[in-house]
Each structure stands twice: as C-alpha cells, then as structure tokens.
Amino acid sequence: MPLSAKAELTTEPVLLVAWNVRPPFQYIENGMEKGERLERVKQIFTLTKIPFTLVQEPPKRIWNQYAAGVKNYCSFDWYRLPEREALVQFSIPLEKNTAYSVLSNTQSYAKVAAHSNLKSLLSDTSLTFGMVDSASYGPELEAMIRESKNKQERHSVLPMIMARMIGANRASFMLIEKAGWDFLKDSDSYFRQTRIVEMGGIPKGLESYIVCSKDVSAEKIAKINDAIRQLAKPVSTSK
C-alpha cells in the first residue's frame, strides 16, 4: 500500500467536543473534569469509536465558533432553537432538563415571594431581573421575558456567577436550575444570601441535545444517536 494511502487511513479528524461549565452537571474541581452529564457524554463518544477530545469553553465562544463555520466540532447541553438550525446538526435528545426555579436574595425575597406566578413577577417594575445573556432560556420563557416590565441586569456570565450577583443584591432575582443552586449554596458567602422562591407558571423543562458542525458526516451523527440510545437516561420529572 502506498504511504500516502496508508496515511489517509490513519488520519481521521479528531472531533473537538466543547462543553460549558454548569455544576453539578459538568464542571472542573481541582483541575479534574467532573459531573454526571460530562461523564455520560464521554461514554457516548467513546461508544462511537470516533476520535475525540474534550475542551471547556464558554457558551458565547462555542456559538461564535459555529457561526464562523468551525469544522469537526461538537458540543452538548443545548436547546433546539430555529436560529440554531442553520448553524449545527442536532442529535436525538440527550436528556430532558428540569424546569427553572426563581432565585432571590434575602433583601428582595419578600417582594419576589409576594407573586404567585412568573407572569406576575415579570410585571413588577420595582424588581430587577438578572439574566445570563450568553444562553437561551427556551422559546416559551424567552417570549415571556420579552414582555417583562422588570428592570434588567444582563451579563454574559455563567449561571453560578449570576447567582453570586443575586446574593450581592446586584439584581432582585434570576432563573436557575435548582440542582445547580443546591450544589453551590453552601460554597460561598454570596450564595448563602440567596433563596429559592417556589412559584407557579414556569414553563416545563426542555430537551437538550448534542450539536455538531455541518461538516460532521451523517454516519458520525448516526453513531452518536446510537450511543445516546444505548445510554438512555430516564426522563427527569419537570415541575
């Protein structure tokens, strides 16, 4: 066999699998990658037998990469939205996320808790809504947010950083996955100044997906889907 042909057989491009920090699902502790979802995705890509490497990147950078036409690139834990269809290919659903919860701070808790549902909360002009500006809350919630009468504090930061800002009274409340807050609440003095507010009218959690750049072959997407099926996770109960 000619050397050039042999080289072609051994140079399958390595998929770069990017992930954003979302404790307790995927995070780094003492330099070690941890989290149930991160471990599951590692298992999925290992089952495909596609060469891959993991890299932690912030959400804004991940989507800038897709917009720039990056190749051999996948990431995970993303909602399926119309504006993303032109940029990426979607796997079958990876899992179903739980509904968001409302997180407030001790100073604003009484005013936030006075509202029985999210629509009422979003109509309160005296409260400031802290929003993570680098990711989507899903179509239904985004539509509600567009109609919000709250003041807004928007930042392209991780949810755990926004939660610290809530604790520091930079905003009155935010939307957060309760599992994330449970994981963080005793780790920092700012988190200890925050409380979950039980509230109705919050849309159900959405399915999340693995997404890959358009150049990733149909055969590889099929292998990813087969691996997801093999490691199927029971659907979480949404509020």
Please report the DSSP string for 116-177 in residue order.
SBHHHHHT-TTSEEEEETTS---HHHHHHHHT--SEEEEESS-HHHHHHHHHTTSSSEEEE-
- What residues contact residue 61 under an 8 Å CB cut-off, 6+ apart? none
Closest to 16 (Cα-Cα) out of 52, 51, 66: 52
- Domain 101-197, classified CATH 3.40.190.10, yes or no: yes
Portions of the chain given CATH number 3.40.190.10: 14-97+206-230, 101-197
CATH entry, 14-97+206-230, from 3.40.190.10, 3.20.20.60, 3.30.1360.120, 1.10.3720.10: 3.40.190.10
Total-model pTM: 0.86
pLDDT at 122: 98
Per residue in 147-160, pLDDT (tens digit) is 999 999 999 888 88
Show the low-confidence residues of the chain (pLDDT under 50): 1-9, 235-239
pLDDT given at position 12: 80
Tokens of 64: 């800038």
- In the 8-state DSSP scheme, what is residue 22? B
pLDDT of residue 233: 59
Please give the pLDDT value at position 188.
83
pLDDT value of residue 234 = 52
Residue 89: per-residue pLDDT:
98
